[in-house]
Amino acid sequence: MLNGNKCHILLLPCPAQGHINPILQFGKRLASHNLLTTLVNTRFLSNSTKSEPGPVNIECISDGFDSGGMNAAPSRRAYFDRLESVGSETLFGLIESLRSRGRPAHVLVYDPFLPWAMNVAERSGLRSVAFFTQPCAVDTIYRHVWEGRIKVPVTEPVRLPGLPPLEPSDLPSFVTDSDPVINPDLLPLLVNQHKNLDKADMVLINSIYELEHEEFDWMESRLPLPVKSIGPTVPSTYLDNRIPSDSHYGFNLYTPDTTPYLDWLDSKAPNSVIYVSFGSLSSLSPDQTNEIASGLIATNKSFIWVVRTSELAKLPANFTQENASRGLVVTWCDQLDVLAHVATGCFVTHCGWNSTMEGIALGVPMVGVPQWSDQPMNAKYVEDVWKVGVRAKTYGKDFVRGEEFKRCVEEVMDGERSGKIRENAARWCKLAKDSVSEGGSSDKCIKEFIHQCCNDSK
Ligand code: UDP
């Protein structure tokens, strides 16, 4: 297959920040093993972002919405349908073009949100490897739905092989949520990740084996192909407690705020600052934003709160000016830089999987305020399985009151359980670092992937 060429790996993420980040970091790790790696982005995202991919090349395909991306589609379903029809052809064309340019691709690492990509790999004679961006526990839930073991919507507690006992409120929202607008669009996308998985050469999961070993063992027992953990996809400089001077994301869909927040953090005592972020997609109601604002003020602690530009109008009037001495509101930051800073003592997070892994890998105790999708399940594991934080209790379906927000932050930073939580966070942080160090579980899996997928036999 290689014909004397260097092994060339194409990386195809679902076009969203939380999917691009981990696959790009994985690509950088592969590049450090002297492999040729190329991130395949949509033309719209490529044109609208400042990319600093470093050792990973960038190529584009069309999603059928070159001038507006996902937001230009009438619905998510319409976007993913068009991405499939236009993306399949343009991905096939890209693989042909790379071949004619003397840089033939050998392996397609694809996001299973785009299961059609494996058909393109097959048609082009490439190996195909599915790269799951959500934790193995969540992938396991969708496998149970795919295999018909659980019926959606789930309304009772469940006992399932490979998983701890789970209440409906611990499960991914699409499995329990009967919201007629969201479910028809997104549940099939998640469940269909398992559609043609059996035909792939390998499954990679952005997680750490030791974090979810029962889930990994169960998943491997269900699939006729190897299932490998390759996380955390956090650059090793951060795991070595060094904040690098250059950007390590390489693909920011949002522009980092120009406020000198790292200098500001330098002026704060160790473990004294609360960092609050709800990721790249979540949109809080104005009432919920208000409750968080009042909870933050009530803690009397310093804070950095990421409020994306589109969300700023929801902040209470004068909130920023009134809290200028104690708090910073930024529209986007380099999250790893903030989490790695010694002044950061607590991470209030929506429990998106990247944020959760980043919090674990950098040893920051967490307060989970999950919103939707896999986030409730990640928050459940943060509190009850890894015991590195607490999950805020909701009032009604998913509303967190200011007092509860304050209680959780205090519990994690100064409360009775804080010592134990900090100890657990330090333990998992070391484990995350060890897993990608020479001989660690993820390091071994990455080498097995290279060995199995980059040899001459296909
Ligand atoms: N992130 C960032 N700056 C911010 C907020 C978030 O760089 O101000 C990054 C964060 O480090 C993570 C990603 O955006 O890698 C968010 O992914 P996650 O899976 O946590 O949540 P999603 O955005 O998919 O809901």
pLDDT tens, residue by residue, 392-449: 999 877 799 999 999 999 999 999 999 999 999 999 999 999 999 999 999 999 999 9
Q: Which domains does the chain have, with CATH numbers?
A: 8-250+435-455 (3.40.50.2000), 261-431 (3.40.50.2000)
Probe residue for ligand 1, chosen from 335, 348, 378 as the CB with the greatest number of ligand atoms within 8 Å: 335
Per the listing, tokens 């967490």 go with 366
Q: What is d(CA 65, CA 216) in angstroms, rounded to the nearest whole number?
A: 37
Atom of ligand 1 nearest to the CA of 358: 11
19 is catalytic: yes
Q: Is the pLDDT of residue 219 over 90?
A: yes
Probe residue for ligand 1, chosen from 49, 133, 243, 280 as the CB with the greatest number of ligand atoms within 8 Å: 280
Cα 225 to averaged position of ligand 1 atoms, centre (Å): 30
Query: Over pLDDT 70: what percentage of the chain?
Result: 95
Say whether 399 sits in a helix, a strand or coil.
strand
The region of weakest confidence among 232-236, 266-270, 304-308 is: 232-236
Cα 278 to averaged position of ligand 1 atoms, centre (Å): 8
Checking ipTM against 0.95, whether it exceeds it is yes
- The residues, any chain, with a CB within 8 Å of residue 310's CB and separated by 6 or more, are 283
Q: Which of 19, 144, 194, 248 is catalytic?
A: 19
C-alpha distance from residue 174 to each of 40, 370, 375, 377, 448 (Å): 28, 13, 11, 11, 34
Residue nearest to atom 1 of ligand 1 (CA): 335
pLDDT at 15: 95
**Contact status, residue 421 vs residue 391, Cβ threshold 8 Å:** no
pLDDT mean across residues, the chain: 93
Cα 441 to averaged position of ligand 1 atoms, centre (Å): 25
Sign of CA dihedral 14, 20, 23, 24: positive
Residues with Cβ within 6 A of ligand 1? Answer: 17-18, 21, 249, 277, 279-282, 306, 332-335, 352-355, 358
Cα 335 to averaged position of ligand 1 atoms, centre (Å): 7
